[in-house]
Chains A and B, each alone.
Chain A
Amino acid sequence: MPLAILLSRVLDRGVVLTGDVVIGVAGIDLLYLGLDLVLASVESLERPSDMARLDGAVEADG
């Protein structure tokens, strides 16, 4: 699954039992920037070499 599509589903759709859900990924706050903008950034990082860099970067964040 392309990363942008994965993020848009897993972070923005699906059953919500509690209002206290994730509000950011990769250090970017979805609450303020909006999911579309995050996806815009992520879509440009979908090349394999960039993906490895992104995974490393956000792992370090996490």
Chain B
Amino acid sequence: MGWYLYCIGPRGLRLPGTPGLDDAPLRLLPAGSVAACVSARQERPAPTVARVRRHHEVIRVATTAEITPLPVRFGQWFRFATTLREMLREGQDALERSLSEVRNAVEFTVRAWEAATGSAQPVAVAEGAATGERGTGTAFMRSLARLYGDERATRERGLQTAHELRQALLPLIRAERVEESERLPSASLARADRPLVCVTHLVAAEHARRYLDGVRRHGVARPALRLDVHGPYPPYSFVG
């Protein structure tokens, strides 16, 4: 019998009152100063949306006012409990540090968008037709250079947006993770708005309301931007 891992907490971690993947009962596996929330499983689970949702739900329910467990990435299965215990003991110091860093904290993600202007693709034929350069490749290279220039400028505006957001919310932010526009999901490019930057902040749970209010005020003062804020979530982004 193997074991599927959901989250890791201190020894005081309580058993979440919810079932695990495929309705398997949860168990706590103590190891040194930490404990893992697991369920028995014969084999590594195939990833499905339903299982991903259940994995997240276990972590959400395991989080209490006293304990913020470390969310574990989906798909970690151990053939033997002894292997898992050994890994937990070996990583105990780092796990304790992570537990301390995210204690009583949640994370929020803010995505900043700006109105897209012009084409995101090089347009050699159309420009060549207008300038008489059709077929030379010059128009294509110029439009390609302009495209790269646009991307660089978008990236810089994104980083500036992240900086301004940080300054506005600084007293409330414990940690930050910034994803530049070029790393955002490509589906976003099909929208009317262009993604500028995606910022994830670690915030004390007691300051969640103040943080949301601060993001909204920041967005209202910048009508050229659209700020989408998601959260609060368990601190997935600050435990890896």
Q: Which positions in A face B, CB cutoff 8 Å?
A: 1-7, 9-18, 20-26, 36-37, 39-41, 43-44, 54-55, 58-59, 61-62
Q: Which positions in B face A, CB cutoff 8 Å?
A: 5, 7-8, 44-53, 55-56, 70-76, 78, 84, 87-88, 91, 95, 98, 109, 183-188, 230, 233, 236-237, 239-240
Q: Which residues of A contact B87 (CB under 8 A)?
A: 17-18
- Other A-B pairs, 15, CB within 8 Å; known A10-B73, A21-B76, A62-B45: A1-B56, A6-B52, A14-B71, A15-B70, A16-B72, A16-B73, A16-B240, A18-B78, A20-B44, A26-B49, A36-B184, A39-B187, A41-B187, A43-B185, A43-B188
Report the Cα distance A12→B73, complex, angstroms: 7
Report the Cα distance A3→B236, complex, angstroms: 15
Contact B91 A36 (CB under 8 A): no
Contact B239 A15 (CB under 8 A): yes
Q: Which residues of A contact B56 (CB under 8 A)?
A: 1, 6, 9-10
Contact B75 A17 (CB under 8 A): no
